[in-house]
Amino acid sequence: MKKLLDSALSSVIKRRTFMKWGTAAGSAAVVAGNALPLKAMASDSAQEKTAEEKVTWSACMVNCGSRCPVQVHTKDGVITHVESDNRGDDVYGDHQIRACLRGRSIKQRVYNPDRLKYPMKRVGKRGEGRFERISWDEALDTIAKQLKYTIDTYGNDAIYYQYGSGTQGYKTDGPFASKRLLNMLGGFLPYYGNYSWGQIQFALPFTYGGGRPAAFGSFTSEIANAELLVMFGYNPAETRMSGGGEIYEHINSVNSKNVRTIIIDPRYTDTMLGKESEWIPIRPGTDAALVEAMAWVLINEKMVDEAFLEKFCVGYDEKTLPASAPKNGHYKAHILGQGADGIEKTPEWAAKITGIPAKKIIQLAREIGNAKPAYIIQGTGIQRQANGEQASRAICMLPILTGNIGLAGTNTGEMPGNFGFPVKTLPVGTNPIKTTIPFFKWSDAIWRHAEMTDKTDGLQGGTSLKNPIKFIWQYAGNITVNQHSDINRTKEILSDESLCEFILVFENHMTPTARFADILLPDITTIENYEVASNGYASGSLGAVIPLVPAIAPMYECRSAYDICSGIAKRFGLEEQYTEGKTHEQWVAELYEQMREEQPQVPTLEDLRRDGPYKQLAPKNIRIALEGFRKDPVKNPLGTPSGKIEIYSEQLATIATEWALPEGDVVTPLPQYVTTWESHLDPLTEKYPLQLIGYHTKGRVHSTYHNVAFLREAVTDAVWMNPADAEARGIKDGDMLKVWNDRGETRVPAKVSPRIMPGVAALAEGAWYTPGKDGVDRGGSFNVLTTQRNTPLSKGNPMHTNLVEIAKA
């Protein structure tokens, strides 16, 4: 027993250990306190000897869009190894939900040197990462006292529940447990949108309306019915790479009929590797210009579906243009140079902007125009640009113009739809605070709340903010520092304790965000928790109900968010109201039975926990986006004001008139290309000549799993450079580089490869920020280089719009 635990626990317990910036990545995050004997470091149940190895179902629950079950093997209360789903014959459609290398390494997350062990309070300056161990009573007393002070002094709207996705998919714990408590206390300042697809989520309802069936595209299974697949920056091989994600369905669909595939992306991604497909490299931020030039070809060569456009759409030509629009305000006039800008959107015009030859643009347009059906899709990286809302709406014009919507083998141009099994969630009540901020503007709401309005900063549910953010509640998210833009500016804001007065962090590990906590609480991992989860938002057509049962007892003094919130509620006299007399496990069981009343085909909870996830295919009638609308637009109108597809949006025309936009920001009623700041056309290229984009790596999910050494060896961090750009700077593959702009600098090795186009560099997002004493990041952290300037419409994150220079370090 002792040998097993000794191999699992790699940190040394000391009376007091201070963690400072500048230590090497992966250093042990040990905490202050008296040294404890081995027996005290594991629960009594973990000490009990068992005659044989146990196998328990759990899951990897991170924000990759998948949700993969795992079988956790334990002996004497210690994890020996982790196995993926291996049930059945693995037949496509009822396939095994196999975890990728990240989920299979989850043991290394549980027994990680960075694992947090005890409640801690900050003892140095905020951000130094200096803490000392405290008791749970002191931690909960401090939190309750600070909550009461914030509410009494400022109001509930000064408490901010911050976006976080490090543990994604809980139904009864984490975010649900936290929001239930905060609502009982009078509410909190909420956000809308998210870092993943805030721009496309905000923009496309102006074209297709909100809610299903318009909120997502067709399932990837419809690719099998297509003649042509065109993917704008869609890269499921790296972002959705497990059996619980889209990639398995995507591969089977493409291979079923050898569907011709064209990928438009600055990088030659892993989705392309080994396929008889075509890669068209494009300058970042110029996808809308490419679409406009293809539209010019489609219109001039009479390949648009005039009947579809007239029956189902608003704003294509003069006949379908709203009365409120200006003369020649329609899309056709804009493309042919008869609109306000007077520019004809020819392939030659677009070639200068996109870097794609005019002949290739014409060829691509003809392929799309002649393909029936064509499945056109975009990834979410494109909308994380300075003109992201425009780009996402523009890409949707290709299926609209060609009538490739609502039919088998088609898609709306959106990201794909999926089937998530309807698992019940812990009731959270109603938040009395109605004014909502955009997800990306939380740092603004700390230091310039008085300037923020619905017309300047995208507030919803109110016209202004009464109070600044004074209390941040961060559960399982590295957003506060690592995943938010312009880390150096973020540090500056958070370090001023006269602004945000208290930061509460629940975490598994000592992340860059955890270092900025005032009170730092050790959360249990999914391997130590009870839950019934459903698969993720990118799981394709195979839905699942996934059981989580603790494979080991909670390590150290770690507690679940539900238990922590129950303890805080007790200090407000709300414990009975909060728990309703139920433990967390009892809530899981009760909500599961409620689900079974509506879904009687689901097995009993006992059978689910014994036999593993329950799988169910999505109904056929939800797999094709806008199918009902295409069949009968009168009976099945869209959620737009007209009930039709709105190429010209009167709502956006109003916003363009009423909102106060900074110079360079543009909102237009038509989906069109706009030149942005820090594009390849910005004069700043004289100083910083390379466009830098981010991408998702197979070695982590955002920043989760970054501290697993095995994964860092398997998938190393490096900045991608084209050989021509590298040669001009005397850089060779593997050289240590410095990448910098006016916002910051990071150090990272070079990956010299023709798989990225000249003039563009790419750096994987999510690496942990690791500054040296000079303040320069040594961890390859992408967000040292990104800006906090938001996009025009959704006020979202333009994290792929950056100009940098690169040289040998």
Domains of the chain in start order, with CATH, are 120-195+432-524+554-600 (3.40.50.740), 212-419+624-658 (3.40.228.10), 683-808 (2.40.40.20)
The CA dihedral of 556, 557, 561, 562, to the nearest 10 degrees, is: 110
Distances in whole angstroms, Cα of residue 58 to Cα of each of 4, 71, 150, 172, 766: 21, 6, 38, 15, 25
CA quadruple 299, 305, 306, 311: dihedral sign: negative
**Tell me, what's the pLDDT at 167?**
87
**Tell me, what's the pLDDT at 212?**
56
601 burial class (0-12, 13-18, 19+ CB within 10 angstroms)? exposed
Q: For the chain, which ranges sit under pLDDT 70?
A: 1-51, 211-215, 276
CB 505 within 8 A of CB 538: no
Q: What is the pTM of this model?
A: 0.92
Distances in whole angstroms, Cα of residue 338 to Cα of each of 315, 329, 333, 465: 14, 9, 5, 43
**Tell me, what's the pLDDT at 296?**
98
CB 616 within 8 A of CB 534: no
Instruction: Of 192, 56, 28, 203, give the one whose Cα is nearest residue 117.
Output: 28
Residue that is written with structure tokens 């909120």 in the block: 215
Helices (H), 154-222: 175-184, 198-203, 205-208
What is the residue-wise DSSP string for 379-419?
A: -SSTTSSTTHHHHHHHHTHHHHHHT-SSSTT---SSPPB--
Distances in whole angstroms, Cα of residue 218 to Cα of each of 141, 405, 437: 50, 9, 30
Tokens of 182: 């905060």
**Tell me, what's the pLDDT at 30?**
33
**Tell me, what's the pLDDT at 18?**
31
H or E element in which residue 746 lies: strand 744-752
**Tell me, what's the pLDDT at 200?**
95
Tokens of 163: 């976006």
**Alpha carbons 299 and 270: distance in angstroms, whole number:** 34
**Tell me, what's the pLDDT at 214?**
55
* Half-sphere exposure of residue 706: CA atoms within 13 angstroms, side-chain side: 28
**Tell me, what's the pLDDT at 216?**
79
In this structure, what DSSP letter does residue 559 have? B
CB 494 within 8 A of CB 46: no
Q: How confident is the model over 364-388, as pLDDT tens digits?
A: 999 999 999 999 999 999 999 999 9
Helix (H) and strand (E) counts in the chain = 27, 26
